[in-house]
């Protein structure tokens, strides 16, 4: 049974601290010794040994040595065991050397310390830590993964540069040119070699070509391809192709890396083999990133609004413990339907009558939807295609342009009648525009057909997402069969280029993987409940006979209803039952609202919210420091207001709110009320449940020393929103040792910037001088204020980082963490474990036997708690896949955790168990979740902040704010009282 919400009363004493403990703050000079002056710049000193860099000892009189309790008498170094990491290989790549030098320069204290002593700086490469060992905890089992073993013959690979003139931007045309070249010259000039081509500048062969450099003339006979655009029809095009030797690729490097004797990834070798495996499908199918789509790969289906989905598959070659592995997964993507543009407009706006002119708003929406796509015309003697650059402001009978004589002006409507004897039917519709603004080409919508095979890149609306999920959602057994069918369809073993030319063999069986099912943690509830502890079963439990471990207290609340479809007395009854539910679960909820529960006009939401705030403030004017604690809102009947409400409440008025859908509120369902109660408890500063092991201080590397756990994420705007900023969110635990309550901060940064810019900032103030700020400092100070302790250890879960960004994110964000710590206190440098959390991958797990109920959950998926760190994982680095949740529908997606930095010397069991156990502490439901909660909370906070600047997403997929307004508007600041609770839940 699903539940939501969670938290803890801030005034309640903790097991490790009396209620009278003061809340000291960090001082720039360091700890309680205020006379020491500003601390030296934060950082760490890489040790001269090849083991992961260690943090320096704390300052002699710093807080680390001054905190109470026997567990804090040791430094982090004494608490951590020594590392047995092997030294990095001598043959590290140039890029790794540059990275190591940059890290050594940036992630260290300056050349001299605050006291004048020199600090050593290491030039050793900073590489992700090696896998400490395989995990052992949990019940062993065998599962299958959609990874297929790839065996490669020991053949010399050669790389050649390719230059095609005249230059072509289309990969498809490039491939056609090279294919024609191979057909024409393979036997006579290429030594009978069959090359693999990447569609751009590189060509690869297994064995050398019989020349160093050579130019070829290729004549390409054009097919009547509607997807290609040209100024005039040509029966034949001529290209000059220059092929020049670039390098020989070392296969030995790949073998050494896979065996663990080489540290840096032989990326070029893997890329070549990947290109070979992708060569054939790239010619046959529509390529989208690493995926292929075609009507030959499955039936298409409608998504509505002129959009359809195509089926296909994802394919990627990966280095793993068992050697090279081909990861293959079935997939689906949205495409434009190949229909007349008039039909598309009718479907897009659900119009039956196209004789009426489009409104300016609708015209802009059509322009956004069609800009950049190719349309075909066939009213001339031949088919031709154009790329849409815009849309006219006027209908076809009023859009004028000048004829070739540069004198005569004529309307588009008149031109088509005079030139082609075509009488246009929809004269009120504006024509599409191709060409440039200086030389526009106007095309009537009714004469243009959208070319097939074009991906729809805009955001799908809710209905389309639902339709796509419904069409592609498959139970594990069905998905496994689909993957097998796709592999059989590709038939790699019979592909001449793959098998014969390059000697690559792909096995057709899914990989059997050794896995373990971790035990669920025991959860602690309040002792006054009939059940003070619970052992979750299959990743879920319920709140029956339980009370929140720390119930929040709400004295000042009210409710406003914006729905017109609920009965007049419903808001009163709903609030009464919700209040009763909150009290029954352990909260203290005052029975009377501060001002009367009332309904308001949904057309004037902003005024209604300001009125509530004004009345409540006036009512509490005589009670110093008191304010409205909770505003319950029954949302309007239409979508589009949630983001606006949250922005006004959280950034303008300082109101913590709980929004409820009217269709849910009017049901008065006990389960729904319970879900809302759990969310309200978090927003009141309470906690729903905590890990029993945390209370008992039995979590390694967490409960022995004050530990702060971070979650961080960056969300980017949807395609097409080119000026909208990216939003970073960072949350941090505030309730050690329970690590259940998280404070969240958000920040806007440059468009599509992945590195979090505001972790640490410094600037020169005319009055204050050098000012240090940033998310890390603010969260550390809040942790100190909340717990009375200073973090001795940092665990940083970073979401949303792709493998290609690992080094860059680690370098810059670790530097920010170090600098921020160093500005809080001289020499303050708690050890860090930096873990990347990846959800967007294509690895799927399947039960070894779908019929055995003890191996699956109710949905047929593998059991919650299933962890994998063998075979399909990285050859040497510390990573694992964890399926921490129970499946509901479809096939569960495990989360991939990759440790990039670890000064806390976690064991495999330690980090896997901690991560799995944390997944049972998510505040909004009584289920374990699929991603570690701090990362989940960061995602929620970032998503909330995007509402502040973009508003609600409309049905058409466009955002409520235009690009220009987004660019001009900075992210509004969340009020301090809202920050103090988990407002994003």
pLDDT digits over 439-470, tens only? 899 999 999 999 999 999 888 998 999 999 98
Class of domain 551-686: alpha beta
**Closest Cα partner for 501 from 766, 277, 661, 170?**
277
pLDDT in tens, 911-922: 999 999 999 999
Q: Say if residues 630 and 579 touch (Cβ distance below 8 Å).
A: no
Q: What is the dihedral of CA 492, 497, 502, 507, to 10 degrees?
A: 0
- In the prediction, which pLDDT does 5 show? 38
* Residue ranges of the chain with per-residue pLDDT less than 70: 1-126, 223-235, 720, 951-969
- On whether the CB atoms of residues 374 and 399 are closer than 8 A, the answer is no
Give residue 42's pLDDT: 36
**pLDDT given for residue 851 in this prediction:** 79
Residue range 477-528, pLDDT digits in tens? 999 999 999 999 999 989 999 999 999 999 999 999 999 999 999 999 999 9
Helices (H), 799-885: 806-824
Q: How far apart are CA 594 and CA 617, in angstroms?
A: 10
* Alpha carbons 746 and 647: distance in angstroms, whole number: 13
Residues 713-725 as b/e (b if ≥16 CB within 10 A, e otherwise) read: bbbbbbebbeebb
Surface-to-core class of residue 94, CB atoms within 10 Å of its CB (0-12 exposed, 13-18 middle, 19+ buried): exposed
Question: Buried b vs exposed e over 367-386: b needs ≥16 C-beta within 10 Å?
Answer: bebbeebbbbbeeeeeebbb
User: Could you tell me the two tokens for 138?
Assistant: 């949990």
Residue 163 has a pLDDT of 97
Write down the pTM of the prediction. Answer: 0.85
Looking at residue 39, its pLDDT comes to: 36
> H or E element: which one contains 614?
helix 605-619
Looking at domain 341-451, its CATH class is mainly beta
* Residue-range domain boundaries for the chain: 150-222+235-336+463-510, 341-451, 551-686
Residue 767 main-chain phi, psi, to 5 deg: -95, -45
What is the rounded CA–CA span in Å between residue 422 and residue 272? 53
């Amino acid at each position: 049974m699903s539940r939501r919400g969670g938290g803890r009363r801030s005034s309640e004493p903790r097991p490790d601290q009396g209620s009278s403990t003061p809340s000291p703050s960090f001082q720039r000079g360091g700890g309680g010794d205020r006379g020491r002056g500003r601390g030296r710049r934060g950082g760490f000193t890489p040790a001269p040994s090849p083991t992961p860099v260690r943090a320096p000892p704390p300052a002699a009189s710093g807080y680390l040595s001054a905190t109470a309790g026997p567990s804090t008498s040791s430094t982090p170094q004494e608490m951590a065991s020594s590392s047995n990491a092997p030294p990095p290989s001598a043959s590290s790549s140039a890029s790794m050397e540059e990275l190591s030098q940059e890290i050594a320069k940036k992630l260290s204290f300056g050349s001299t310390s605050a006291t004048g002593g020199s600090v050593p700086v290491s030039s050793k490469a900073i590489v992700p830590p090696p896998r400490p060992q395989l995990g052992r905890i949990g019940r062993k089992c065998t599962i299958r993964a959609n990874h297929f073993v790839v065996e490669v013959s020991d053949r010399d690979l050669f790389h050649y540069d390719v230059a095609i003139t005249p230059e072509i931007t289309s990969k498809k045309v490039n491939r056609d040119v090279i294919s024609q070249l191979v057909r024409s010259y393979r036997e006579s000039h290429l030594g009978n070699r069959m090359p693999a081509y990447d569609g751009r500048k590189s060509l690869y062969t297994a064995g050398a070509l019989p020349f160093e450099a050579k130019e070829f003339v290729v004549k390409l006979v054009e097919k009547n391809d509607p997807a290609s655009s040209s100024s005039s029809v040509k029966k034949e095009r001529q290209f000059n192709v220059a092929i020049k030797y670039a390098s020989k690729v070392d296969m030995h490097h790949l073998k050494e890396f896979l065996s663990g004797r080489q540290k840096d990834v032989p990326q070029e070798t893997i890329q070549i083999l990947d290109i070979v495996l992708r060569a054939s499908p790239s010619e046959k199918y529509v390529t989208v990133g690493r995926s292929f789509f075609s009507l030959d790969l499955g039936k298409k289906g409608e998504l509505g609004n002129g959009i359809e989905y195509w089926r296909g598959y994802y394919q990627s070659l990966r280095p793993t413990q068992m050697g090279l592995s081909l990861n293959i997964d079935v997939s689906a993507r949205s495409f434009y339907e190949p229909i007349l543009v008039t039909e598309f407009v009718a479907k897009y706006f659900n119009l039956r009558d196209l004789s009426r002119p489009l409104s300016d708003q609708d015209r802009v929406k059509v322009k956004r939807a069609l800009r950049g796509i190719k349309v075909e015309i066939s009213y001339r003697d031949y088919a031709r295609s154009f790329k849409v650059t815009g849309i006219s402001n006027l209908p076809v009978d009023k859009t004028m342009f000048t004829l070739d004589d540069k004198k005569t002006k004529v309307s588009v409507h008149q031109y088509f009648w005079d030139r082609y004897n075509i009488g246009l039917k929809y004269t009120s519709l504006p024509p599409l525009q191709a060409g440039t603004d200086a030389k526009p080409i106007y095309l009537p919508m009714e004469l243009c057909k959208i070319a097939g095979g074009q991906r729809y890149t805009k955001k799908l609306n809710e209905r389309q997402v639902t339709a796509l999920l419904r069409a592609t959602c498959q139970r594990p057994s069905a998905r496994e069969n689909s993957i097998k069918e796709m592999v059989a369809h590709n038939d790699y073993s019979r592909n001449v280029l793959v098998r014969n030319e390059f000697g690559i063999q792909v096995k057709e069986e899914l990989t059997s993987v050794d896995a373990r099912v971790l035990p669920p943690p025991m959860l602690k509830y309040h002792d006054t409940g009939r059940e003070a502890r619970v052992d979750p079963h299959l990743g879920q439990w319920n709140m029956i006979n339980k009370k929140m471990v720390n119930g929040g207290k709400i004295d000042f609340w009210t409710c406003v209803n914006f729905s017109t479809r609920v009965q007049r007395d419903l808001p009163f009854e709903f609030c009464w039952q919700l209040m009763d539910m909150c009290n029954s679960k352990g909260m203290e909820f005052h029975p009377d609202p501060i001002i009367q529960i009332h309904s308001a006009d949904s057309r004037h939401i902003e005024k209604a919210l300001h009125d509530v705030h004004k009345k409540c403030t006036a009512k509490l004017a005589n009670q110093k420091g008191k304010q409205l604690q909770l505003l319950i809102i029954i949302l309007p009947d239409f979508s589009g207001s949630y983001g606006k409400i949250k922005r006004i409440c959280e950034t303008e008025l300082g109101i913590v709110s709980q929004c409820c859908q009217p269709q849910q509120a009017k049901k008065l369902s006990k389960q729904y009320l319970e879900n809302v109660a759990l969310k309200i408890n978090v927003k009141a500063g309470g906690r729903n449940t905590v890990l029993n092991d945390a209370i008992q201080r039995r979590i390694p590397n967490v409960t022995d020393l004050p530990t702060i756990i971070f979650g961080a994420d960056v969300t980017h705007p949807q395609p097409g929103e080119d000026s909208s900023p990216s939003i970073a969110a960072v949350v941090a635990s505030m309730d050690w040792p329970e690590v259940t309550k998280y404070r969240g901060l958000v920040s806007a940064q440059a468009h599509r910037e992945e590195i979090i810019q505001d972790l640490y900032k410094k600037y020169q103030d005319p009055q204050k001088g050098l000012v240090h700020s940033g998310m890390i400092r603010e969260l550390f100070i809040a942790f100190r204020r909340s717990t009375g302790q200073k973090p001795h250890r940092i665990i940083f879960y970073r979401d949303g980082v792709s493998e290609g960004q690992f080094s860059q994110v680690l370098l810059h964000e670790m530097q920010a963490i170090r600098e921020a710590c160093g500005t809080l206190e001289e020499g303050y440098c708690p050890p860090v474990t930096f873990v990347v959390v990846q959800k967007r991958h294509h690895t799927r797990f399947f039960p070894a036997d779908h019929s055995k109920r003890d191996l699956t959950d109710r949905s047929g998926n593998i059991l919650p708690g299933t962890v994998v760190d063998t075979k399909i994982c990285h050859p040497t680095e510390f990573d694992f896949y964890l399926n921490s949740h129970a499946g509901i529908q479809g096939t569960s997606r495990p989360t991939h955790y990759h440790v990039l930095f670890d000064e806390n010397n976690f064991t495999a069991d330690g980090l896997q168990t901690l991560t799995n156990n944390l997944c049972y502490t998510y505040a909004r439901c009584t289920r374990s979740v699929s991603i570690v909660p701090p990362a989940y909370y960061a995602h929620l906070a970032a998503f909330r902040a995007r509402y502040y600047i973009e508003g609600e997403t409309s049905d058409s997929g466009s955002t409520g704010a235009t690009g220009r307004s987004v660019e001009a508007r900075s992210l509004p600041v969340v009020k301090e009282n809202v920050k103090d609770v988990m407002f994003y839940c």
